[in-house]
Structure 1
Amino acid sequence: MRSDPITEFDLTAYVDDQLGVDRRIEVESYLAERPAEAAGIMADLRSRDELRLALSRMPVPVSVRTNAMAGRLERALRRRVVIRRLSRAAVLLLVAGAAWYAQDDVRTLGVRPSVASAPPPGFVQDAIRAHGTSIVRAAMISQPEIATYDPAEILSATAIRVPALPDDWTVRDVQVFPSTYGPSLEMVLGTPDHGDISLFAARPGYFDVDPVGTVVDGTSTAAFWQVGEVAYALVASQQSREALERTATRISDDLR
């Protein structure tokens, strides 16, 4: 007999390979009794594995066909994962609302305060540092900016997809340089809404599909997300989180 009911948290963790052996067996027993739900989970697992396989081959020369296939797989997996995470968020909101009306102490939910304010992923700090470096570089006469780049060449050399940029944005500088996670991409872009902004991309060493989040660090604001094995961040100075999040969401849509 199971000690705890199987929840959406467990199902998502099962797909993401984040469960211990005991809990994984319990999830599989649960799915064995629910063929329809098991079929959905199997589809998630297949999309995850197909996307991992496509991404693992990206360091070799990439064809248009391979790139398009990876895009389709990313869109399928992202929809499934986001829907499941939205479901979990809805449950948490209902629980929090019930606790508020009952005027219970939040601690009775068993949630540590640190969970509600989890720090951003480590690559975000690299993105913020890269943005600061780009500002220094822009002011140096001896460090010329390079505005031309080849997305296909960057993809082949680094396995990083460069998203499509708005037509009214201007590319000021493009650099590939070392980071905590290996070769990363830093683009300095001129925009009508945010002034000069940085687009940072790196491969953090794990697979995930995360919607856009935001963080403020001093005078820098970062909007970050991840698609498969590549993480991205838009970083700007003196910008509101809401405005930058809207812009990042539009950029991330190109990667679905």
Structure 2
Amino acid sequence: MSEPHDPILDADLDAYVDDQLDVGRRIEVEAYLSGHPDVAARVMADLRTRDELRLALAGSRGGARPATTDAARRLERGLIYGRLLGSVQRVAAVTLLMAAGWLANEAFGPLKVRESVASTPPPAYVEDAVQAHRTSMLRAEMVSQPQILKLDTAEIRAATAIAIPELPRNWHVKDVQIYPSQFGPSVEIAIDSEDLGGLSLFAVRPGHFDVVPPKLVTVDDASAAYFQIGDVAYALVARPDAEHLDRAAERLARSLH
């Protein structure tokens, strides 16, 4: 896709988030974002934060504390004059969600995420990924359960609309299964690797479009690096002490561009 004649600047991205661009310039910015997923992820995070702030302001008449409402107004004005630091955005969003009573950790089931690893709970599909990983490990120990060693990415995409990333050459497929999940059919690929040991790649369509760069979390007895490109989400699951799992997830994500 060709770049616009006028380069896209940070000011254009800020104006895009604040709905301050005309239709022609918005199209140019969106074309730019479609070819730069890292920038698109940052912009979508800003859009999400903006909408959360607006929701907080809209609900202020329902009994929110004045201090919370004033903070939301100040943060919203700050988005107009410049991009807030990512860490400030995350803290502000979580604080407002907690004040409104929207944060529900129990929605993620019995799995527990260590707070030292993730500041916010991971998407719900990460729970499915860890469960699928455990099921694959159980299948590997059962003689009666045949393993599928052939990975037919074209057939999987035709049947599930899920694109499978290109696996590194030193990764060996041990099993390929289609599992049910709370979002519909999912793909679970059990893998044996030289650097990370036994791991699995989980892919599912979570029902919404997003661009999420790889993020690392620890869930009970497993580590997971999850990311999303478009309408398909992925989670790379391995043992808790697996090193550089996030780098492996970044490599898989790049192979999809």
TM over 0.5: yes
| Residues 234-253 of structure 1: pairs in structure 2 closer than 5 A | 234-240=236-242, 243-253=244-254
Work out the number of aligned pairs and report it: 193
Q: Distance in 1 between matches of 2:162 and 2:42?
A: 25
Aligned AA (1:252): A
> Does 2:153 align with 1:168?
no
Secondary structure of 1:193's aligned partner: coil
Contact in 2 for aligned 1:44/1:80 (Cα 8 Å): no
> Does 2:42 align with 1:42?
no
Contact in 1 for aligned 2:132/2:179 (Cα 8 Å): no
Structure 1 position 91, deviation (Å): 2.8
Structure 1 position 214, deviation (Å): 1.3
Secondary structure of 1:224's aligned partner: strand
Q: Distance in 1 between matches of 2:88 and 2:137?
A: 45
Give the structure-1-normalised TM-score: 0.65
CA change 1:205–1:93 in 2 (3 A) is closer
Q: Distance in 2 between matches of 1:154 and 1:249?
A: 22
Give the structure-2-normalised TM-score: 0.65
Contact in 1 for aligned 2:162/2:204 (Cα 8 Å): yes
Contact in 2 for aligned 1:82/1:211 (Cα 8 Å): yes
Q: Which residue of 2 aligns with 1:91?
A: 84
Residue 122 (structure 2) aligned to one of 120, 123, 126: 120
Q: Distance in 1 between matches of 2:28 and 2:256?
A: 21
Aligned AA (1:166): P
Structure 1 position 238, deviation (Å): 2.6
CA change 1:171–1:46 in 2 (3 A) is same
Q: Distance in 1 between matches of 2:209 and 2:251?
A: 22
Structure 1 position 31, deviation (Å): 2.0
> Does 2:121 align with 1:145?
no
Q: Distance in 1 between matches of 2:234 and 2:26?
A: 27
Residue 221 (structure 2) aligned to one of 219, 224, 229: 219
Q: Which residue of 2 aligns with 1:233?
A: 235
| Residues 202-213 of structure 1: pairs in structure 2 closer than 5 A | 202-213=204-215
| Residues 9-28 of structure 1: pairs in structure 2 closer than 5 A | 11-12=16-17, 27-28=18-19
Gaps (5+ residues) in structure 1? Answer: 1-5, 13-26, 33-37, 49-72, 97-106
Contact in 2 for aligned 1:204/1:231 (Cα 8 Å): yes
Backbone CA RMSD of aligned residues? 3.4
CA change 1:143–1:95 in 2 (3 A) is closer
Q: Distance in 1 between matches of 2:88 and 2:141?
A: 51
CA change 1:175–1:42 in 2 (3 A) is same
Q: Distance in 1 between matches of 2:229 and 2:16?
A: 20
Q: Which residue of 2 aligns with 1:58?
A: none
Relative contact order: is structure 1 or structure 2 higher (C-alpha 8 Å, sep ≥ 6)? 1
Structure 1 position 40, deviation (Å): 4.6
